[in-house]
Amino acid sequence: MAEAGEPAWRGRQVAEALYRQWVTDLDAITTLPVALRRRLAESWQVGQPRIAQAFISQDGTERYLVEGVAGPETVETVWMPEGDDGEAGDGSEEEGKSWHRATICVSSQVGCAVNCQFCLTARLGLQRNLTAGEIAGQVVAVLDRQGVAVGKERVNLVFMGMGEPFLNYENWMAAVRLLVQEVGISPQRMTVSTSGIVPGIERFAAEPPELRPKLAISLNAPNDAIRSEVMPINRKWPIEAVVDAVQKVRLRSRERITFEYVLLGGVTDRPAHAQEVARLVRRAGLPLKVNLIAWNPGPGVAYEMPRPEAVEAFRRTLAAEGVPVYLRRPRGRDIYAACGQLKRTVEG
Ligand code: SAH
Ligand code: SF4
């Protein structure tokens, strides 16, 4: 509003309308004089990203293709009314109605440049960064659709949709500020996942605690050799460099780092791998938990799903080694569960 030559309190009125009342167009912001609304309409886009398509799973999960504002491309946003037993259902939550622990999975970029071999989003390449408004706007659009009472009903956010948040750091963090300060969601209910972008982790470590989400690292392999195969980014920032950077994050009391571990059949799911992960975790010396995720298959990706016995054996080995371990339940298997798969399937 300052840029538009208006007093700062006009900005507060717009923020209130967009992030608390969830208005979808400029004319609904009746606190602004009509002449100002006209003038803003000429050079600003004010409103909500549009949910262009919705896919509803039998398990209650809803996946959306959400249209950007700064460009026509869509991204995937997911509503999981009962969480996924990963970030939301790991025992740190109180029991209650499924509703009270819903999780929204948010995208940070259209596509991704990181090139993890098992990931469908990688196949899109990086098309563009989302703006802060587009990232926060995905959340507002879903809260609005679901009629969530923020502050009364419990919603968790996971930045685990399309894209690498730490390669769109400025916009992503600006979105976090909007979500905390304007929408009113606690950063302790938010988890950001990174493939291990070390400079990003270091910037993240310097964020003020009252704005900092929780951190998840996509480990996904038991050692550098295998990790470099499945996540070529590991050649730039190997496991030890990532762990060193994570150690700079000053954790809140009882806070833990999440290590995500995608189980690829025959590649990362062997009993010896579980032992290696346990040793790695012990060496890291961090308060952490491991979230196991059975790989979601998708067209054109030449991996295999882990066998259920292998998943269970992996989990049991880590648990026996004293590593806190959770199995992320697959959600919405019937509606293109692998991130990136929906967009690729629907849009060809
Ligand atoms: N770019 C960030 C966040 C988005 S990916 C990151 O990589 O961490 C979120 C999580 O989904 C990551 O842990 C990633 O390893 C995992 N993932 C990607 N594709 C998957 C698939 N097909 N099946 C299961 N997990 C997948
Ligand atoms: Fe990008 Fe994450 Fe997919 Fe890797 S797993 S390609 S970092 S979205």
At 94-106, the pLDDT tens digits run 444 445 689 999 9
> Which segment, 5-9, 82-86, 332-336, is predicted with the most confidence on average?
5-9
Residue 45: the pLDDT is 83
Output the ligand 2 site: residues, CB below 6 A: 112, 114-116, 119, 121-122, 163-164, 195, 218
321: CA distance to ligand 1 center in Å? Answer: 25
- Side chain identity at residue 277, one-letter code: V
Ligand 2 atom showing the smallest separation from residue 115 Cα: 6
CA distances to 138, 218, 314 from 290, in Å: 27, 10, 11
- Relative to the CA of 120, which ligand 2 atom is closest? 3
Q: Does the beta carbon of 261 sit less than 6 angstroms from any atom of ligand 1?
A: no
Q: How far apart are CA 78 and CA 331, in angstroms?
A: 10
According to the model, what pLDDT value does residue 83 have?
63
pLDDT confidence of residue 92:
43
Question: Structure tokens of 170?
Answer: 């400025």
Give pLDDT tens digits for 170-213: 999 999 999 999 999 999 999 999 999 999 999 999 999 999 99
Query: What is the reported pLDDT for 95?
Result: 45
Does the pLDDT at position 9 exceed 60? yes
Residue tagged active-site, from 62, 76, 82, 260: 76
Stronger pLDDT, 215 or 339, i.e. the higher one: 215
Q: Closest ligand 1 atom to the C-alpha of 341?
A: 22
φ and ψ at residue 294, rounded to 5 degrees: -70, 130
Indicate if the pLDDT at residue 91 is higher than 50: no
Q: Candidates 138, 339, 341, 345: which one to mutate for ligand 1, based on the most atoms within 8 Å of Cβ? A: 339
The pLDDT value recorded for residue 36 is: 95
CA of 282 to the centre of ligand 1 (A): 23
CB-count exposure of residue 286 (10 Å: 0-12, 13-18, 19+)? middle
Task: Please tell me the predicted confidence (pLDDT) of residue 93.
Answer: 43
In this prediction, residues 131-138 reach a mean pLDDT of 97
Q: What is the pLDDT of residue 328?
A: 86
Q: Is 76 a catalytic residue?
A: yes
- Considering the chain, what is the average pLDDT of its residues? 92
Measured from the Cβ of residue 216, the count of other Cβ atoms closer than 10 Å reads 23
Helix or strand run (H / E) with residue 171:
helix 169-177
Which neighbouring-strand residues pair with 109?
A: 129
Lowest mean per-residue pLDDT among 19-23, 132-136, 144-148, 340-344: 340-344
Query: Residue 99 has what pLDDT?
Result: 53
* Angstrom distance (rounded) from CA 76 to CA 52: 10
What's the pLDDT tens digit per position in 282-312? 999 999 999 999 999 888 899 999 999 999 9
Question: For 160, what's the count of Cα atoms within 13 Å in the CB-facing half-sphere?
Answer: 27
**Cα-to-centroid distance, 160 and ligand 1 (Å):** 7
Reply yes or no on whether 210 is catalytic. Answer: no
The residue annotated as part of the active site, out of 105, 116, 119, 339, is 339
CB 81 within 8 A of CB 185: no
The pTM score is 0.94
In this predicted structure, the answer to whether residue 313 has a pLDDT above a threshold of 80 is yes
CA dihedral of residues 103, 109, 226, 205 (deg, nearest 10): -70
- Are 41 and 26 in contact, with CB atoms under 8 Å apart? yes
Q: Whose CA is nearest to atom 1 of ligand 1?
A: 164
**What is the whole-number distance in angstroms between the Cα of residue 239 and the centre of ligand 1?**
17
pLDDT at 90: 44
Alpha helix segments (H runs only) across the chain: 8-15, 34-43, 132-146, 169-177, 198-205, 224-230, 239-246, 271-284, 308-320, 341-347
Is 42's pLDDT higher than 50? yes
Decide: 204 and 246 in contact? Cβ < 8 Å: no
Q: What is the pLDDT of residue 133?
A: 95
Q: State the closest ligand 2 atom to the C-alpha of 193, by its place in the atom list counted from 1.
A: 2
Does the pLDDT value for residue 135 go beyond 80? yes
